[in-house]
């Protein structure tokens, strides 16, 4: 069992082998519990990081009327925008 030293600020370094085995990375949260003279440390599990591909299909947009590029008149849209501004 490795021995570590507590710093002036109360900090300790978790040995690399233990961090790796438990998946402790920067930003991981740990829960401390006092059990008699023993400190129990548990990794607070969080949702794993996901990729963009895993979110595909989560947002659904109901189909609307078919639109074509020819239906958009940029000049008209700019005129309407200018009338709406003070």
CA 82 – CA 74 distance, rounded (Å): 12
Q: Show the CA angle centred on residue 24, arms to residues 21 and 26, nearest 5°.
A: 150
Distance from C-alpha of 46 to C-alpha of 18, rounded to nearest angstrom: 18
Bigger pLDDT: 40 or 66?
40
Report the predicted TM-score, pTM, of the whole model to 2 decimal places: 0.49
Give yes or no for residue 49 having a pLDDT over 80.
Answer: no
**Does residue 15 surpass a pLDDT of 80?**
yes
Say what the pLDDT of residue 46 is.
67
pLDDT tier at 45, thresholds 50, 70, 90: confident
State whether the Cα torsion 75-80-62-49 is positive or negative: positive
The pLDDT tens digits for 1-11 are 789 999 999 99
How far, in Å, CA of 73 to CA of 67, rounded?
Answer: 13
Task: For residue 30, give the nearest of 16, 19, 41 by alpha carbon.
Answer: 41
């Amino acid at each position: 069992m490795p021995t570590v030293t507590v710093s002036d600020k109360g900090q300790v370094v978790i040995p690399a082998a233990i961090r790796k085995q438990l998946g402790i990375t920067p930003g991981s949260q740990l829960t401390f519990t006092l059990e008699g003279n023993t400190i129990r440390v548990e990794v607070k599990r969080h949702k794993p990081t996901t990729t963009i591909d895993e979110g595909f299909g989560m947002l659904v947009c109901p189909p609307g009327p078919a639109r074509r590029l020819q239906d958009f008149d940029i000049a008209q849209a700019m005129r309407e925008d200018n009338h709406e501004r003070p």
